[in-house]
Amino acid sequence: MNKKLSNQFLVNFLVIFLLTILATVLAFAMLSFASGLISGSLVKNQYPASAIIKEDYRQIDASGVVQSGGGVQVVDREYRVVFSRGLDTIGKEKLSAGEFTKFLTESKSRPYHYDIIYQPEGEFWLIVTFPTSIRMDFSLLYNEEASVGDFIHAGWAIALVALSYLLIIALFAFIYSRITAAGITVPLRKLCDGTRLLREGDYSARVDLRLKNEFAELQNTFNDMAARIEHEISLRKKSEEDRRRLILDISHDLKNPMSSIQGYAELLMKKSDLSEQESNEYLEVILNNSKRANRLLTELFELSQMDSPEFSLKLVRTDISEYIRQICGELVPQLERAGFEYEFDILEESVFVLLDTDRFGRIIQNLADNAVRYNPPKTKVTVNLTVQNNQVVIDFSDDGIGIPAHLANHIFKPFVRADDSRNSKTGGSGLGLSIAKRIAEMHGGDLILCICGNKGSTFRITIPTI
């Protein structure tokens, strides 16, 4: 690809090279045309020496020349300046033969135009002088009577100069084509290398072109695309890992109660001499484990149901202050049986929100279940309801054992528990907080764990008012 682009640029600049030669020839032709076009309008051509010369220099009319900014001088055969009007570049009244000869030979190199003519009858030289505006002394002359050797030498010199000129232009065109091609092929090569790395699975690949043109926009687009792909891949890996962990957790949590049910059922079948008390104890174990397995499956179904696009809440305009008071009243027997203390601080004013009353009650109930399950007796539970920035804020706090620091950022994930042992005495499925957070989010709010240095834990529920 790079080679093709470089060759294409070289071809393009060869075309420019040929056009440059053509433009050079046209430039000389146009300069010659322009010179002839403006020659008639120049002051020096309006007052040539041949137009004003007289046999008697005293009869020469120099007024037109002087008014146009020029000058007229007459030098006799003894090199004396016998007549002078206007601009005088000789600066002397008498010249030597050598000085006059030098003046004539150097007139072409001065910034003046000299028109010199000799009057044989009056034996004097008439010199008409004008300041030169712009002069380019370039002309190509030849004479057929010249020596053949001179023609050959001059021809070789002109050919050498022309060839050198063409080679210099060609070299510049070649170098510039390579530089221009590199300005495109180098960024393209880097982009191709980055794309190849992405194709091979290196999603951390980025391109740094250090440019500020259109390639910079392409670079940013590429890097954004690579960052998005990397993010999506990481999310996919994380989702896959979460799925595997979820399956392992489900298998683990179902295995224990099902194994227990199977073991005690087999025991009942094999031992026919069991007493009624022993049989009832075994049956109670089977019943409790079946309830535990059923509760886990029910919560799994509920969690998956909430992820379904077809799932929706039945929202009703509700006074949440009165609603939370009712929920807290229903919690009192549970908290008293567990030997807990409690305090409810609910806003007296009515605050209306859109609630699915059946679902939202699960949030408070799940938080209460966790508090009772993991904390010792005498723990104090506090429920506080306020309104802040058009949001209802419900803080559910306890002064119990709190949440371990290593679980604080993962507590709302499925099957994460404060009790890592997964024993049957605590009875938690690890899904309660996940379900509670989903319900809060579906109401347009959130459920978070407030990190503080105090004893216990505080869960904050937010929901927008209407």
| Chosen CATH of 312-464 out of 3.50.30.30, 2.40.50.140, 3.40.50.720, 3.30.565.10 | 3.30.565.10
Give ∠ CA 447-339-446 in degrees, rounded to 5: 5
How many whole angstroms separate alpha carbon 187 and alpha carbon 183? 7
Q: Which residues contact 34 (CB under 8 A, 6 or more apart)?
A: none
> Helix (H, G, I), strand (E, B), or coil: what is residue 52?
helix
Q: What's the confidence (pLDDT) of residue 421?
A: 45
User: Position of tokens 């699960």?
Assistant: 362
How many whole angstroms separate alpha carbon 156 and alpha carbon 69? 44
How many whole angstroms separate alpha carbon 335 and alpha carbon 338? 5
Q: What's the confidence (pLDDT) of residue 458?
A: 92
How many whole angstroms separate alpha carbon 429 and alpha carbon 413? 12
Strand arrangement, sheet containing 391-398:
341-345, 380-388, 391-398, 457-464, 446-450
The ranges assigned to domains in the chain are 2-39+139-187, 45-131, 215-305, 312-464
The answer to whether the predicted template modeling score (pTM) of the entire model surpasses 0.75 is no
Give ∠ CA 155-158-163 in degrees, rounded to 5: 120
Is it true that 215-305 and 312-464 share their CATH fold? Answer: no
Q: What's the confidence (pLDDT) of residue 227?
A: 87
Q: What is the DSSP letter of 55?
A: S
The alpha carbon of 317 is separated from its chain's Cα centroid by a whole number of angstroms, namely 46
> Helix (H, G, I), strand (E, B), or coil: what is residue 217?
helix
Q: What's the confidence (pLDDT) of residue 63?
A: 93
pLDDT in tens, 109-162: 888 999 999 999 999 999 999 998 776 655 566 666 766 777 787 788 888 888
- In this prediction, the residues of the chain whose per-residue pLDDT falls under 70 are 1-6, 8-9, 36-40, 135-144, 146-147, 246, 249, 252-253, 415-430, 452-454
| Chosen CATH of 215-305 out of 3.30.70.120, 1.10.287.130, 3.90.1150.10, 3.40.50.410 | 1.10.287.130
pLDDT in tens, 35-70: 766 666 778 888 999 999 999 999 999 999 999 999
Q: What's the confidence (pLDDT) of residue 419?
A: 54
